[in-house]
Structure 1
Amino acid sequence: MLRIELSQIEMTRDQIDAIIERRLKGLNHQLEALRLKQRRDKLNGVLTDELSERYQQQNAIIRQQLSQTEVELDELRAELASKVLVVEDMRGERFEIGLNRVLDFWYPNQMNYPDKLSHWGGQVWKFLSDEPRESNSEGGVFPAIFGTVLLVIIMSVMVMPLGVLVAVYLHEYAENNILTRMIRVGVINLAGVPSIVYGVFGLGFFVYTIGGSIDSLFYAERLPAPTFGTPGLLWSSLTLAILTLPVVIVATEEGLNRIPLSARHGSLALGATQSETLWRIVLPMASPAIITGLILAVARAAGEVAPLMLVGVVKLASSLPVDSQFPFLHLERKFMHLGFHIYDVGFQTSNIEAARPLVYATSFLLVTVVVGLNLTAIAIRNNLREKYRTLGQD
């Protein structure tokens, strides 16, 4: 009977979540878009009385729909609060617990080994797929996993071409002069700079300078509320791209150094140009080192916390950076990160002892991700090294 009631409660919760995601957030988005459009017309001097009245009518329609949606949500929440579970402790005292506060139940003493294994697997899935609750001390870590993976993907798209281009220029085209030597020394020094310095640089240059300029040029109607002039996913990705750039450059140059001159000379002797030799011979042979550098950069970026605390990561994000609203990928939004989640739960939670298992589980998950990335790098590097061994690569 209790399982049936909880199933109905879960259906009601899903209905509430669907209304919030599909209707409430959409109506709020329309209301905000209408307000910004009206303010933009006012700033441009094209807001007439007729146009203003039309905006007010549209605003009234959207607000009426919002009121109806909120009434529907209140009815569903009242239905959740109306059902209670009466429990009795060992002293005979009875307590009432609202079913809306019950997330799950099980009978451990009645479980056999397969039941326990199945229950454990279900709890692991909830940990990976649910959102955090109770100030991050309970629930899952899906937003943190999603934010970490998305951050690493965007960072890789930014750092990979730039790092390879710089390494190719320094090794294949640049002369050995004082400028080249200064660039190499700068790259080596950048690899030893503390990560928090990158965070301060990202906050001052990317967020306040570039982001503030973007807001002034393209989002003037939103001011003084910043859009890109505040920490977010884009600036975090750029900061980590600069932080990991020396890793990619050094790894790529090492790969280029290992390619024998005979491979280049043979290609040029057959009539290929320098660019064709670079694209068809040199870069494929150096691909093991390039991919290794990228994966090492990804592994470092996945574990960085200090710079992200300044340029975009937050304790709890109200929504994911990806949703159904145009432009679908919102680079200006703040996000959650596994490393910061560990720090927050382990040191900022009021009940640290109760949250300790979550800290251990999240730490194990982050270490697993980093180790998996490194093992992937080794496998890809060995595979490509064998593939191009016949061209002269050791």
Structure 2
Amino acid sequence: MNTWFKSGSPWVWLSAGGVSISLISVIGLLLLIASNGLSYFWPSEIHQFSLKDTEGKNSVVIGEIYDREQIPASQLSHTNLVLPEGTETVERLLVKTGNRELVSLDFRWLLVPQITEQSTPEDLAVIERRTNGNFYGRIEKVIKDGQEVAITELPVLLERVSDFQEEIDELQKDNIGAINYQLERQRLKERKHALDETLTDELKAKFSAENAKLEADYQVLETELLALRAKLARDQLVMVAMGGERVTINFDQILKIHFNNQMSIIEKTGVFFSQIGAFIGDEPREANTEGGVFPAIFGTVLMVLLMTVIVSPFGVVAAIYLHEYAGKNVLTKILRIAVINLAGVPSIVYGVFGLGFFVYMIGGSLDQLFYPETLPSPTFGTPGVLWSAITLAILTLPVVIVSTEEGLSRIPSSMRLGSLALGATKIETLWRIILPIASPAIMTGIILAIARAAGEVAPLMLVGVVKMAPNLPLDGNFPFLHLDRKFMHLGFHIYDVGFQSPNVEAARPLVYATALLLVTIIVALNMTAVSIRNRLREKYRMLEH
């Protein structure tokens, strides 16, 4: 045994065990997130429950089963529920009932002993709406252009509504949005001339003519928009809810209609992937508890890429100075200690610093110098994607510096001296010899920076991220990339949906789905950087040897 310990084998097994436990934990966590998140997109069966309460009243509940749990029978003593002798626990079901215009909550707990009958009728439909969540019930009438038609017309009506809605979205976001943007730009230009005391009568007439033309174009587009909305309002669906109530739903509120109980496995698989696609490509609705997360995906990727572009050159230059040029004195030691200590500063402190220095000081100064016509409404003196990227660049700067300096320290001094002996200057040696060999280490630092920045939330809450951003930072209006705008972020979206949602039960699957998406994006960004690093390592392997 003593020989075995001296051989070092216990430490090998201990290291292997630690790595195995860590790997199993990570895989288990990912499986937990994936199972809970992806199940949200699978079309569940719609159940119809016949209930009889303790007072003998009968009722019907229609919905999807979300959860099951066992509760102690002692907790039900106040309900006068009659249970068999010796019953210790009672099962209850969490059912999503939707129909917000009829009931106050989306979910309802049902006690299994009160259920007299449970079935899955094939005529039950689930209607996904733009507002008020899902509606569960039976279709009684389909009305097209004021006339009742057969239920077989549903696909045609849904396709027509989808076409109309695409035209409406294009009018609102692209055409009308562009005109509103141009009108605002005209107003700011006119105000700037007024502040500079260069607003002549000729300029006033020019601005008035341009504004009149834009207003005329706006009126034409508004007329088209009202006409499209009138066409949408002609088609209706009459539904029968679980209590027998009849509810009329306009087709302009309907996104999808599914008869889940009629679907085969293949049809459910198709709906599953289509709902995943909608989740990735659509905008959020209903206080972020419905719809997709595309603005959050876009904001997260844009912010991370912008942060990477900012932090990479500054981190590499700082590391080169500390290792190649700075003398080995007290000041250099203090700088290295400061860099290492910066890596341990809480991220919220960086957020406070970014808010005070970048947003209020630099952004406010930029507004005073270049955008006085917009004041008191700030342009850059307010949180935005630019300040978020710079703040996270400072947060991740120590990671890039330390990684790059370690890569530089592994390069033998003989390579530097050999290059200088052959007549190369110090700059040429750095550019052609040192940096190519150290590029894998630089990419390692960038990978670590991306991994940390993509998951940070606390500083972003102060310097740019919001619950709902009406416009993306990228659009068709000059200068196309608007770095002054606020943005959505997947990390903050998880926090908001999970802890600030008015409907916690409905939001819980979305939390898992969004977390899985965030992990996937981080892995994709990291794998891209790792691939680049491996190519650089192979390319300069011979040079290193």
TM-score (norm 2): 0.69
Aligned to 1:321: 473
> What is the match of residue 74 of structure 1?
226
Q: Report the alpha carbon displacement of residue 93 of structure 1 after superposing the two structures with TM.
A: 4.8
Of stretches 51-60 and 182-191 in structure 1, the one that deviates more from structure 2 is 51-60
What residue in structure 2 maps to residue 385 of structure 1?
537
Structure 1: how far apart are the matches of 2:205 and 2:529? 61
User: Where does residue 422 of structure 2 map in the other structure?
Assistant: 270
Unaligned runs of 5+ residues in structure 1 are none
Tell me which residue corresponds to 1:5. Answer: 157
1:91 and 1:244 map into 2 onto residues whose CA distance is 57
Computed over aligned residues only, the root mean square deviation of the Cα atoms, in angstroms, reads 1.8
Corresponding residue of 2:396 = 244
Residue in structure 1 matching 2:512, options 354, 357, 360: 360
CA distance in 1, matches of 2:386, 2:206: 36
How far off is 1:182 after superposition?
A: 1.5
Judge conservation of contact 1:345–1:359 (CA < 8 Å) in 2: yes
Structure 1 stretch 244-253 or stretch 72-81: which is displaced more?
72-81
For the 8 Å contact 1:227–1:332, the answer to whether it is kept is yes
1:343 is the counterpart of 2:529: no
Q: CA deviation at 1:180?
A: 1.2
Residue of structure 1 aligned with 2:182, choices 6, 30, 51: 30
Is 1:44 aligned to residue 196 of structure 2?
A: yes
Q: What is aligned with 2:16?
A: none
- Distance in 2, Cα, partners of 1:118 & 1:13: 23
Q: 2 CA distance for matches of 1:374 and 1:76?
A: 45
Aligned counterparts of 1:143 and 1:106: Cα–Cα separation in 2: 26
1:292 Cα deviation from its structure 2 partner? 0.9
Q: 1:372 offset after TM fit, Å?
A: 3.4
Task: Tell me what 2:208 maps to.
Answer: 56
Larger Rg: 2
Task: Give the C-alpha shift of residue 35 in structure 1.
Answer: 1.0
CA separation of 1:91 and 1:323: change in aligned 2, threshold 3 A = closer
CA distance in 2, matches of 1:95, 1:225: 45
| Residue of structure 1 equivalent to 2:453 | 301
Is the CA contact (8 Å cut-off) linking 1:263 and 1:391 kept in structure 2? no
Q: Distance in 2 between matches of 1:173 and 1:262?
A: 17
TM-score when normalising by structure 1: 0.95
Change (3 A) 1:21 1:375: closer
Q: Where in structure 2 are the equivalents of 1:181-220 lying within 5 Å? A: 181-220=333-372
Aligned to 1:21: 173
Q: Is the 8 A contact 2:491 2:518 kept in 1?
A: yes
Kindly state the Cα deviation for residue 119 of structure 1 after the two structures are TM-superposed. Answer: 1.6
Q: Select the structure with the greater relative contact order (CA < 8 A; seq sep ≥ 6).
A: 1
- Hey, what's the Cα distance between the residues in 1 that align with 2:212 and 2:530? 60
Gaps of at least 5 residues in structure 2 are 1-152
Structure 2 Cα separation of the partners of residues 383 and 97 of structure 1 = 57
Q: Is contact 2:450–2:526 with CA below 8 Å preserved after alignment? A: no
Structure showing the higher helix proportion among its residues: 1
What is the letter of the counterpart of residue 59 of structure 1?
A: N
Letter in 2 for 1:293: G
**Residue 312 of structure 1: CA displacement?**
0.7
More divergent stretch after superposition (315-324 vs 100-109) = 100-109
Equivalenced residue count is 393
- 1:23 deviates by 1.6
Percent identity between matched residues is 62
In structure 1, give the amino acid aligned to 2:485.
R
Give the structure with the higher percent strand: 2
